[in-house]
Amino acid sequence: MTGGTWTPPRYQGVRKLPFIPKETEIDQIISACTSRLATFLQMLKETGMRGGEAWQLKWEDIDFETDTVRVTPEKNSDPRILRLSKKLVGMLNCTPRSFGERVFSNPKAPIEHYRDNFCQRRKKIAAKMQKTRLLRITFHTLRRWKGTIEYHRTKDILHVMQVLGHKSIKNTLLYVQLAEELFQDEIDYISKVAKTEAEICTLVEAGFEYVCEFNGHKIFRRKKY
């Protein structure tokens, strides 16, 4: 109104690595839930969908002939087709179709109702198991777990990017760091010895890294995939 100017301050948040639970902890919570909620959580765990993507699933999105699900994306992600396990397909086949065309969406209750139910079940199992770590598991935690596990299993960042539906690989690089931090103790290496220049070049082209020299020979190593 007076023609004044104002430069708003910019907030720069502190970046932290997210919590990634163990698979046994996820399964403990799933086993403590009702059948439909357990199926919802199993879907998040296996596919890495966002909660909203799973919430809007329709029965026509699931192909029981090929055991796949077609994901309608959220947050400007890419659409994708993901494979389902026989276990999850069995759980879906046992799910009543009482919500019409939707698999999980209850017209009388929003997704917050699912989330509240989940939090109550999570609180009970955490108290029973005396494991406060379980309280840190959320719907989105299962997506992060899936991305981390997929990178640890395949070492293929583009595969993880496709599974999660990311448009930018910058969003996927987080899971490389998480996998390396979480599975550091499980990393095995293949070692090779090079005696000639040609052998050195061959190992470098194959992805081996130089470690040290011993008795005139150069030692290289590469992570087992």
9 assigned to some structural domain: no
> pLDDT value at position 71?
96
2 assigned to some structural domain: no
> Number of folded domains in the chain?
2
Distance from the first to the final alpha carbon of the chain: 64
Asked whether residue 141 falls in the same domain as residue 33, the answer is yes
What are phi and psi for residue 2, nearest 5 degrees? -95, 0
> Residue 53 belongs to a domain with what CATH number?
1.10.443.10
Helix, strand, coil % over all residues of the chain, rounded to 5 = 50, 15, 35
7 assigned to some structural domain: no
* CA–CA distance, 74 with 44 (Å, rounded to integer): 14
36 assigned to some structural domain: yes
3-state DSSP of 14-71: CCCCCCCCCHHHHHHHHHCCCHHHHHHHHHHHHHCCCHHHHHCCEHHHEECCCCEEEE
**58 strand-pairing partners:** 102
E strands of the chain, at which residues? Answer: 62-63, 68-71, 80-83, 189-194, 209-214, 217-223
* CA–CA distance, 105 with 215 (Å, rounded to integer): 68
Cβ(151)–Cβ(176) below 8 Å = yes
Asked whether residue 149 falls in the same domain as residue 127, the answer is yes
CA distances from 187 to 141, 166, 183, 223 (A): 24, 27, 7, 7
Q: In this predicted model, which residue has the larger pLDDT, 89 or 188?
A: 89
214 assigned to some structural domain: yes
10 assigned to some structural domain: no
- Coil, helix or strand for 26? helix
* CA–CA distance, 221 with 219 (Å, rounded to integer): 7
Asked whether residue 180 falls in the same domain as residue 200, the answer is no
Question: Which residues, at least 6 apart from 63, have a Cβ–Cβ distance to it below 8 Å?
Answer: 69, 70
One-letter amino acid at 30 equals I
- Judged against a pLDDT cut of 70, whether residue 224 lies above it is answered with no
199 assigned to some structural domain: yes
Domain that holds residue 207: 188-223
Mean pLDDT in residue range 56-79: 94
> pLDDT value at position 225?
54
> pLDDT value at position 152?
85
Asked whether residue 100 falls in the same domain as residue 150, the answer is yes
Asked whether residue 105 falls in the same domain as residue 143, the answer is yes
Asked whether residue 123 falls in the same domain as residue 219, the answer is no
- Judged against a pLDDT cut of 80, whether residue 77 lies above it is answered with yes
Asked whether residue 135 falls in the same domain as residue 202, the answer is no
* CA–CA distance, 60 with 65 (Å, rounded to integer): 12
Asked whether residue 194 falls in the same domain as residue 179, the answer is no
- Judged against a pLDDT cut of 80, whether residue 206 lies above it is answered with yes
Asked whether residue 90 falls in the same domain as residue 196, the answer is no
pTM, two decimals, is 0.76
Mean pLDDT in residue range 25-29: 95
154 in the Ramachandran plot: left (φ > 0), alpha (ψ -120 to 50) or beta? alpha
Asked whether residue 127 falls in the same domain as residue 195, the answer is no
Confidence bin at 189 (pLDDT 50/70/90): low
- Judged against a pLDDT cut of 90, whether residue 132 lies above it is answered with yes
- Least-confidence region, from 136-145, 184-193, 212-221: 184-193
Asked whether residue 126 falls in the same domain as residue 217, the answer is no
Asked whether residue 204 falls in the same domain as residue 159, the answer is no
Mean pLDDT in residue range 184-213: 80
1 assigned to some structural domain: no
Mean pLDDT in residue range 123-143: 94
